[in-house]
């Protein structure tokens, strides 16, 4: 699914590559610096605020996330999204 990821701080609009397995890979592809420790939803260090849109998880994350937060290491956009970054 083709989608656009908008970064709220800079207004940058990033195209999600077709082969991107998760949001973290999309951010890395566009050389966006983001903190992370794992790629499986265990630690929560990549936690971001989702401002617009929806994501889906390949597997339910084990790290606690509050409403409005996402873990880019294990989720995919379900269309265009905006994140606080």
Please report which confidence band the pLDDT of residue 2 belongs to, taking 50, 70 and 90 as the band edges: confident
pLDDT at 7: 98
pLDDT at 1: 65
**9-23 tens-digit pLDDT:** 999 999 999 999 999
pLDDT at 23: 97
Neighbours of 58 (CB within 10 A): 13
**32-72 tens-digit pLDDT:** 999 999 999 999 999 999 999 999 998 889 999 999 999 99
Please report which confidence band the pLDDT of residue 78 belongs to, taking 50, 70 and 90 as the band edges: very high
């Amino acid at each position: 699914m083709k989608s656009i990821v908008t970064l709220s701080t800079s207004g940058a609009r990033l195209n999600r590559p077709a082969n991107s397995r998760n949001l973290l890979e999309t951010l890395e592809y566009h050389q966006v610096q983001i903190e992370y420790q794992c790629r499986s939803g265990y630690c929560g260090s990549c936690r971001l605020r989702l401002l617009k849109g929806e994501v889906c998880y390949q597997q339910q994350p084990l790290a606690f996330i509050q409403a409005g937060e996402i873990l880019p290491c294990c989720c995919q956009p379900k269309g265009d999204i905006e994140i606080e970054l």
